[in-house]
Amino acid sequence: MSPYKAVIFDLDGTLADTIHDIAAAANASMAARQHPVHSLEEYRRMVGHGLRNLCWQALPEEARNETELDICHRLTMQYYRAHPVDGTRLYPGIKEVLVRLHDEGIHLAVLSNKADELTRVIVERLGVAPLFTVVSGLRDGFPRKPDPAGARWVMDRLEEQTGERILPAQVLYVGDSGVDMQTAANCGFVSLGVTWGFRCREELVENGAGQIADSAADILSAALP
C-alpha cells in the first residue's frame, strides 16, 4: 500500500517536454521587437520561474525595463496561446505512470509556474486532464514557487474535492528543478527530482531532493514502494 494519498507534479520538464513551444513563443516576441533570439539550450536555463521572468532574462540588458518587458510578455503570451502544443509532448512512460497511480487511488495534481490558463490548456491538449483532480498554474494574487502558497491552495482543493484529510507527509512532489525541490521542502512534502527535464541532477541534489528518478518507472517505484 502506498504511503502517499497524493502526488503533485510540476509540468514543464517533468510531465512534458515543452521547451520547443516556450522557445518559439519567446523568440517570436524577441524577433517582433528586433531583439536577439535564443537557442533551446539557453531557454532551458531560463525556464522555471514563469514566462514573465523568462522574457526578462531573454531581453538584452539594455532593453530590460518594465515597459519593454510588458510588451514582450504580452507578445509571448499571444503567440503561446495560439501555439500551446505544437511541439510539446509527454515524456516517455509518463501517461502510463499517471494511469497506474490514478488506478491505485492516488489523487493527482499539477502545480506549475506557467500561467494558469496555459497550464490547463496544455494538460487538456495532452489528453491527461481526466487523470488529475486539480490542475493549477500561476494564479493572480499568488507568488511563484518555491513560495508554498500555490501548493497549499492545491492541497485545499484536493481535500475539498476528495473529502479526505491529506497530510503533507502523505504527498509526493515530483519536479525537475531546484525550485521544485524547495517547494516540496517549504510544504513538508516528500520530494522526487526527475533527471530528464530542464535541470541537472546536481541542482536537484543541492536543493534537497529526497529521491531521484532517472525514468518514468522510477516514479512508480517511489510512489508505490
Catalytic residue among 10, 17, 21, 176: 10
Known catalytic membership, residue 10: yes
Dihedral angle, C-alpha 169, 132, 143, 139, nearest 10 °: -160
Query: What φ, ψ does residue 82 adopt, rounded to 5°?
Result: -80, -20
C-alpha cell of residue 11: 509540468
C-alpha 47/C-alpha 1 separation (Å) is 36
Helices (H), 126-192: 149-162, 178-187
Cell numbers 521547451 correspond to what residue?
Answer: 19
Residue 191, strand partner residues? 173
The number of C-alpha atoms within 13 Å of 204 and in the hemisphere containing its C-beta is 24
Give the chain's count of helices (H) and strands (E).
10, 8
Work out the angle between the directed axes of helices 149-162 and 178-187 (0-180°, nearest 10).
60
Task: Specify the pairing of strand 16-17 against strand 89-90.
Answer: antiparallel
C-alpha cell of residue 70: 510588458
Residues with catalytic function:
10
